Amino acid sequence: MFNLVLFGPPGSGKGTQSENIVTTYNLQHISTGDLLRDEVSRHTPLGTEAKKYMDQGMLVPDEVVIGMISGKIDDMPEARGFIFDGFPRTRNQAEALDKLLEFKNTRINLVLSLEVPETDLIKRLVTRGETSGRSDDNEEVITRRIKEYYLKTQPVASYYDNQGKLEHIAGDHPIPETFKTLSKHINKYLLPVA
Ligand code: ADP
């Protein structure tokens, strides 16, 4: 199995690049943001709880997100590997993920960190908000999400750096160019299927 974490602030292009990686390498995509939005739209108890945090640009509590991920990994025993998008977002989540994978005799192989200047992030997210219909893509909540990222999520990078798994990727180039750079790193582990 090959397991990848796509790391980076809101608006850094994780979702877009995940789609490219999924089709090229046949990995299973696990996006906690997408999973949470699905729970919200189905009005499940988990969704109702999560929405309170998401609408304020705050992280959803670790235990909620970790439980959700664990079920998702169990659902796909035949996967070639996973791409984790928007997870882990705290050190606690990173440690929980290591334990979950260890239990399955596998591990995170590579962490690709998409780096984009903060002014570009805000511009991208405001533009996305005009069409995304996401209630958290407005300037006030965007600012809060970016703040939350630097406070709680950025430290996760050094957790993986200490394990020798972190690679920094410039995320402010055109989408295909960034994808090429990401691919160069993934190709060291896995051959493209498409
Ligand atoms: P973005 O990366 O653009 O902020 P996401 O779809 O990844 O978008 O996340 C949207 C919101 O969902 C976050 O602001 C947060 O409230 C919640 N969320 C997503 N993933 C996690 C996570 N791993 N831990 C806690 N909260 C999360």
Residue of 30, 60, 90, 122 to mutate, ligand 1, most atoms within 8 A of C-beta: 60
Amino acid code (one letter) for 128: R
pLDDT recorded at residue 36? 97
| Shortest-distance Cα residue to atom 16 of ligand 1 | 54
Residue with tokens 């998401």: 54
Could you give the CA distance from residue 5 to residue 150 in angstroms, rounded to a whole number? 17
Residue of 32, 68, 116 to mutate, ligand 1, most atoms within 8 A of C-beta: 32
Could you give the CA distance from residue 169 to residue 164 in angstroms, rounded to a whole number? 15
Residues 6+ apart with CB under 8 A from 82: 1, 3, 4, 27, 28, 29, 30, 73, 76
Written as tens digits, the pLDDT of the chain (194 aa) is 999 999 999 999 999 999 999 999 999 999 999 999 999 999 999 999 999 999 999 999 999 999 999 999 999 989 999 999 999 999 999 999 999 999 989 999 999 999 999 999 999 999 999 998 888 999 999 999 999 999 999 999 999 999 999 999 999 999 999 999 999 999 999 999 97
Please give the distance, rounded to the nearest whole angstrom, from the Cα atom of residue 178 to the centre of ligand 1: 22
Please give the distance, rounded to the nearest whole angstrom, from the Cα atom of residue 170 to the centre of ligand 1: 21
pLDDT recorded at residue 17? 97
Q: Is the CB of 51 under 6 A from ligand 1?
A: no
Please give the distance, rounded to the nearest whole angstrom, from the Cα atom of residue 88 to the centre of ligand 1: 10
pLDDT recorded at residue 53? 98
Could you give the CA distance from residue 44 to residue 38 in angstroms, rounded to a whole number? 9
Q: How confident is the model over 91-100, as pLDDT tens digits?
A: 999 999 999 9
Catalytic annotation, pick one of 72, 80, 91, 128 = 128
Q: Is the CB of 129 under 6 A from ligand 1?
A: no
pLDDT recorded at residue 194? 72
3-state secondary structure of 79: coil
Catalytic annotation, pick one of 80, 91, 107, 134 = 134
Contact 25, 186 (CB under 8 A): yes
Side by side, the strands of the sheet bearing 2-7 are 28-31, 81-85, 2-7, 110-115, 166-170
